[in-house]
Every structure is written in C-alpha cells, then in structure tokens.
A = this chain, B = another copy of it.
Amino acid sequence: MNVHEFAVASLSDHRLFAFLDLAGTFAFAISGAVAAKDRNLDGFGIMAVAFTVACGGGVMRDLCLGVVPPAGLSEWQYLATALCAAALTMAAGRLVTRLAHPVILFDSLGLGLFAVTGAQKSLLLGHNAEVALLLGMVTAVGGGVVRDVLLNRVPVVLKREIYASAALVAAAIEVAGERLGWTSSWRTWLALGACFTLRYLSLHYGWNLPRFSGRQEDQPDEGRPG
C-alpha cells in the first residue's frame, strides 16, 4: 500500500508496482463505493467507505508496526485515488458496472500487491515471519472487513470465496523468498502471480473453502444473531 516499500526493486519494476499500487487502491475503493451506494448511504458515506476499503488494511498494519501517522492517512495519492473512485461511482454508475471486469482484475492484483507490501514492510522493520504473514494478510483484507462491519453485515472474506487465503499465499511467498535470498522483484512477481492465479481460478470455478456447520446456505442467516 506504500510505494516506498518497493525502493529495492529495479526502476522499471518500481514504476510498475507504483502503478499497480494505485490501480489496486482504485479497485478497492470502487468495491467500497459500490457497496455503500447499494446500501443507500449519502455522498459522505460513499466517500468514507471507499477510502476505508482502500486504506483501512494499511492503516491497521501501520498501527501494529508503530508507523505513525499511517501512510494511508498522510500520503495524498491514496485519498485522492479513493475520492476519484467514489466520485466515479456516484456520477457514472453504469460506467462502473461496465468496468466490472477491469475492476475485478485490479482488485485481484491489488490483493496480492497489498499482501506483499504488508509482509515486506514488516520484514524491513525487523519483525518475524509470523508478524509478516499476519500483517500481509491484514493489509490485503482489513479494509474489506471494516467495509462490511460498517455496512452491518458479516465480512464476506470470513464466509466464502478464496480471497484471504490467496492473500496469505502471496504473503507466504514473499516471506519465504526473503528468507531464501531471492531478489525482491522475483519474489514479488511470483507472489503476485500465485495470488492472482488462485483468485481467478477460484472465481472461475466457484471454489470455496469448506464449511463445518452442517448447513449449506448462509444467506437467510445473515444480519441476524447466531
């Protein structure tokens, strides 16, 4: 979520990662803005939820790492990108609907990239592999969890689809690669590729993680207490 994490990559990779970082931020913000608009929030609510999805995970990570103020709050690119996504959703809902495919594409790339940057930042600050894995995953999915909590529903990453697991795979590749001495660019590409492939295959084939409650449906249960 922070372009400065990529300083060790080659210059051309650095530019590409910086682009993907903002493209992922944009895709995350679109998912927040669309969900907020569907729940009938007002203009402020749509902007707030868009920004929360885009930067919430990175803010949680930075708080856990003692990096204050969190990069998501202090670097204007993220706020500007999130507000653009919110404005586009408000002004041109049909265009956003038509953009569904590129949005899923960049959301999947953002997922992997945020997991990698979260893990990288933790390792750069000298923390252990467990912290890097957990905070990589938090960076990638934390914003979506807060979005669902604010919109008063059980976070979707806890219920279905291969999403947090794909982020975990990306963070694990980053951490393992760092320990094995791979170059920064290589392990980032590998992590991104694995996360993206896993996410895309799971969407295409409708893969889900197993459940254990004996019920197959979950829709009627949502929004009510257990």
Contacts and interface: CB of A to CB of B under 8 A. Distances in A.
B209 A42 contact: yes
Interface residues of A, number: 67
A95 B9 CA distance: 51
Contact of A224 (B66, B130, B150, B222): B222
Contact of A211 (B40, B145, B164, B218): B40
Contact of A73 (B41, B134, B158, B160): B134
Total copies of the chain: 3
Contacts of A212: 37, 43, 46, 89-90, 93
Most chain B beta-carbon contacts within 10 A, residue among A68, A159, A209:
A68
20 contacts: A42-B160, A43-B210, A44-B157, A44-B165, A48-B158, A59-B64, A63-B64, A64-B69, A65-B68, A66-B66, A73-B130, A89-B212, A150-B155, A151-B226, A152-B152, A152-B222, A153-B224, A153-B226, A223-B223, A223-B224
Interface of A: 35-46, 48-49, 59, 63-66, 68-70, 73-76, 79, 89-90, 93, 122, 127-128, 130-131, 134-135, 145, 149-155, 157-160, 164-165, 208-213, 215, 217-219, 221-226
